[in-house]
Structures are given as structure tokens and as C-alpha cells.
Amino acid sequence: MISKELLLALLAMDSYNRDYAAGVAVPGLQIGSAKYVSNSSDELGLDVTRAAGFFAAAYKIEGSGTDLDGKTVISYRGTDNFSDDKVLGGNDIIQGWVAGTGVQTSQVGLADNSTKKLRKVRYSRGLVLTSS
């Protein structure tokens, strides 16, 4: 059994290895007690999420031996893309960073919309958010 903190850290890293611009090809859907169930591109459309440089992955947790059991974890990729790129997606400086000044960017709207949709994808006893 691993700790709750380590499991959340693994899922934060795993979101970089799913869907568009995956860093590493990850086979399968299971990571220990976490099952990959959906993502923001499936729920909102690949063209929309890629254009904004946004991605979130949802995992259902069962059998971890922690208070995460029965919950859905949504893992958000960080803002680490500095230019518009057809593979990597939109510019995080414009689409994400300026949100810290109070500007409603596309990534803010996509985070809100994807969280609402992903929490409904798999019924669970709660929602936990993580990111790197």
C-alpha cells in the first residue's frame, strides 16, 4: 500500500502521459488502485482543449486503503508550454498564467467545465483535485 500523498503525486505525473502531447506512452488504464476513466479532451473536445493548452485526467480510486477509496481524482497538467504548438497546444502564458491577475482565460473556463463534466462521468463518493 502506498500513501495518499504518493498516489496523488503519481496521478499528477500521469496526466502528462495521456491523450495529446503525451510524454510517455502508458499502456493500460490501471495505476495501482487508480483507474483512468476519462479526460477533458473526451468530454470537451480535443480541438478545444489542445487550442487552449489544457488537459485534465480523471481516475476512480478503489482499494487504496486511504480515504481516497470510492472517490474520483481529477489531475490537471501544469502550465509549462511557452508557445503555441500544434502538438503541445496553446500558449500557457496567455491561456493560463494571466489568470493569476484575475483575467478569465480559456484555461480557467475549461477547468471549470471539465471538472463539472468529469465529476459526472463516474459516480463517486467525492472529488479530489491534484496537479503538478
DSSP string, 14-73: HGGGSSTT-SS---SSEETTEEEEEEHHHHH-HHHHHHHT--EEEEEE-S-SSTTTT-EE
Query: Whole-model pTM?
Result: 0.81
Residue 4 has pLDDT above 70, yes or no: yes
Task: Provide the grid cell at 114.
Answer: 471539465
pLDDT of residue 37: 92
Question: Chain-wide mean pLDDT for the chain?
Answer: 81
User: For the ranges 10-14, 39-43, 89-93, 102-106, which has the lowest average pLDDT?
Assistant: 89-93
Q: Is pLDDT larger for residue 91 or for residue 9? A: 9
53: left (phi over 0), alpha (psi -120 to 50) or beta: left
Q: Across residues 56-79, what is the average pLDDT? A: 90
What's the pLDDT tens digit per position in 10-57? 999 998 888 888 888 888 999 999 999 999 999 899 988 888 888 899
Cα 50 off chain centre by: 13
The CA angle 44-19-23, to the nearest 5 degrees, is 140
Residue 57 CA to residue 40 CA, distance in Å, equals 6
Q: Where do the structural domains in the chain lie, given as residue ranges? A: 4-131
Q: Who has greater pLDDT, 67 or 80? A: 67
* 8-state DSSP, 90: S
Strand partners, 35: 30, 60
Helix (H) or strand (E) holding 119: helix 106-121
**Mean pLDDT throughout 79-95?**
58
Which amino acid appears at position 57 of this protein? A
Which of left, alpha, beta for 65 (phi over 0: left; psi -120 to 50: alpha)? Answer: left
